[in-house]
Chain A
Amino acid sequence: MTTEKTVYVVDDDEAVRRFLRGLIESIGLGVKTYASAQEFLDGYEVGSPGCLLLDIRMPDMSGLELQAELRRREIGKPVIILTGHGDVKVAVHAMKAGAVDFIEKPFNNELLLHGIQKAVVGSLHSSGTRVRRQEILHRLETLTTRERQVLGLVVAGETNTGVARHLGISDKTVEIHRAKVMEKMQAKSLAELVKMATVLEVK
C-alpha cells in the first residue's frame, strides 16, 4: 500500500500511456498505467489516494461499464474521462454516472493537469461547486426559450442537423442559436457547455 498520490491511467494506446506517464510525473504525482479496464481492476490496490484517468474507448469494457464496476466494488476514486472528438453522448453519460470531468483528446496539457490536480485534491466537492452552480444558473436565465431547447438537445449529444430536425428549423438557424448559447453561457468549448449542463442537470 502506498500513500503517494497516484493517478491511475487506463488507456489501451501504448504511446498515449507513455506520454501521460511523463506528463503527470512532471508535476510530482505517482502514475500507474493499465492497458485495459480488467488490468486495472486486477492490479488495483486499496488505499492509495488519487484519481482515475480513463479513456472511454477500451477493448474489453467501456468506460461506463468500468464506472459501474467501480461503484459495485466501492472504489470511490474521482474519475476523469478522456474522449475523442464527437463523443459528446458518451461523455454526458459518463458525467451522469459520476465522472468529475471529461477532457477531449488531443488536449491542452495544462487543462488536463489542472483537472487532475483538482480531482486529486477533491476540491470539486467543496463549496466551490455550489457557488459555481449559482453562477451558471444566472447565465442560464439569460437564454431564450428556443436557446434553452437548443442547449438541451446539444448536450444530449445531438448534431446540428439533429437539433434542426427536432425543432423543425434550418441548420443555419441552429448554428446561430448555438453560437448565442455558447456566448451567453460563456462556454469556450462544447465540453465546457456539457460540464455546465451536468452541474445543473439540464435535460
Chain B
Amino acid sequence: MDQHGAVTHFLGISEDITQRKRAEEDARRHRNELAHTGRVIVMGEMATSLAHELNQPLTVISGCAQVCLDKLRSGDGTSEQMLDSVQQVAEQAQRASEIIRRTRSFLRKEEDERRPIDLNDTIRGVEDLLRVDAREQRATIDLGLVEGLPPVWADFFQIQQVVLNLAHNGIEAMAGSDSSQRHLAIQTLAVDGGSVEVAVRDTGHGIPSENLTRVFDPFFTTKPSGLGMGLAICRSIVEAHGGRLWAASNEGMGAVFRFALPSGTAHP
C-alpha cells in the first residue's frame, strides 16, 4: 500500500479446487445414501413390531365403528353412548397416524446436516419406536441418560439411526433368553478427554470373542433373516463423525455396544 492507503500491489495464490469439491460432494452423497439404506433395513426388520402396534388402535377403531353401526341401525343407542365410541375412534385414529408419522420421519431421506446436538435427545427421539420393538420381544428398556452432556457436532438423524440399530440388535439378541430377564439398557456419559459415549447393553447370549470385530464386517450376520449390513453402516456413520464404535461381550451375560463421539460445537 502507498502512504495514502491505496492498494498498489496485490499478491495472491489461486488453486482450482473444483475437483476436490466434487470428490467431497460425491463422498457426502454416498454416505447419505448408505445411511438411508441403513434406516430402510432396520425399519424393515421392525416391520412386524410396527404392524402389531398399529393393530391395537385398528382393533378399537373397528370395534367402535361396529358398535355405532349397530346402534344406528337398531335406533336404541343414546347419543352419549355413541359419543363415547366416536371419541375412542378419533383418539385411536390419532394414535395410529402418530405411529406412521414417526416411522416416516425416521425413514425420510435427509441431507447430512451437522450441528451441535445433545446425544440424550437422539435417544429420546427413538424411545417410542424402541418400546414398540421391545414389547414385541417382551423385553424392558432402561434409559440411563446423564444430564448436562457436552454437545457433539453431528447429524441428528444419523446418530439416532445408530442408536436405534444397536438397540434393535440388542432386543433381537435376547429373543432366546428367559423372558423375565430381557433387559436393554441405554446409557450416556461424558468421558474425560472430550468425548461423549453411548452404551447399549443387552442380556442376550453375548458374542463369542472371535466375532467381536467381525460383527462390523459387511454381510456378517448371525440372524437367519439378517443382511449383515446394519452394524457395518453404523460403524461407517460413527467414523464419518470422527468417532468410534466397538463391541464387548461377556458370554452368557449379554453384549455391550459402545460408541464415542468427540464433543464440540463446531466442525472438529
- Chain B residues within 8 Å of chain A by Cβ, number: 27
For A61, give its contact among B57, B88, B140, B179 (CB under 8 Å). Answer: B179
The answer to whether A23 touches B135 (Cβ under 8 A) is no
Inter-chain CA distance A192–B85, complex, in Å, is 29
The stretch among B48-56, B97-105, B120-128, B157-165 that forms the contact with chain A is: B48-56
A contact face: mostly helix, strand, loop, or mixed = loop
**Residue A203 at the chain B interface, CB threshold 8 Å:** no
With A15-B95, A62-B179, A85-B51 as known contacts, state yes or no: A106 contacts B136, CB within 8 Å. Answer: no
- Chain A residues within 8 Å of chain B by Cβ, number: 24
Q: Chain B 177-220 against A: per-residue CB contact (8 Å), 1 yes, 0 no? A: 00110000000000000000000000000000000000000000
A84: chain B residues within 8 A (beta carbon): 51-52, 55
A112 nearest in chain B by CB position: B63
The answer to whether A60 touches B180 (Cβ under 8 A) is yes
Inter-chain CA distance A77–B88, complex, in Å, is 30
The answer to whether B55 touches A23 (Cβ under 8 A) is no
With A23-B63, A59-B135 as known contacts, state yes or no: A15 contacts B180, CB within 8 Å. Answer: no
The answer to whether B63 touches A109 (Cβ under 8 A) is yes
The answer to whether B138 touches A106 (Cβ under 8 A) is no
**Residue A164 at the chain B interface, CB threshold 8 Å:** no
Inter-chain CA distance A103–B70, complex, in Å, is 20
Q: Chain B 226-258 against A: per-residue CB contact (8 Å), 1 yes, 0 no? A: 000000000000000000000000000000000
Give chain A nearest CB distance to B1 CB in angstroms.
77
The answer to whether A109 touches B60 (Cβ under 8 A) is no
**Residue A73 at the chain B interface, CB threshold 8 Å:** no
Give chain A nearest CB distance to B114 CB in angstroms.
38
Give chain B nearest CB distance to A133 CB in angstroms.
31
Inter-chain CA distance A26–B61, complex, in Å, is 17
A18: chain B residues within 8 A (beta carbon): 60, 88
Q: Chain B 66-109 against A: per-residue CB contact (8 Å), 1 yes, 0 no? A: 11001000000000000011001001100100000000000000
B57 nearest in chain A by CB position: A15
The answer to whether A16 touches B59 (Cβ under 8 A) is yes
**Residue B149 at the chain A interface, CB threshold 8 Å:** no
Please name the 5 residue pairs, one residue from A and one from B, whose CB atoms are nearest each other, closest first. A106-B62, A106-B59, A105-B59, A13-B56, A19-B60
For this complex, 14 residue pairs linking A to B, each with C-beta atoms less than 8 Å apart, are A15-B88, A16-B59, A19-B88, A22-B67, A23-B67, A57-B52, A59-B135, A61-B138, A84-B51, A85-B55, A105-B59, A106-B61, A106-B62, A109-B67
Interface residues, chain B, with chain A CB atoms under 8 Å away? 51-52, 55-64, 66-67, 70, 84-85, 88, 91-92, 95, 135-136, 138, 140, 179-180
Interface residues, chain A, with chain B CB atoms under 8 Å away? 12-13, 15-16, 18-19, 22-23, 26, 57-62, 65, 84-85, 105-110
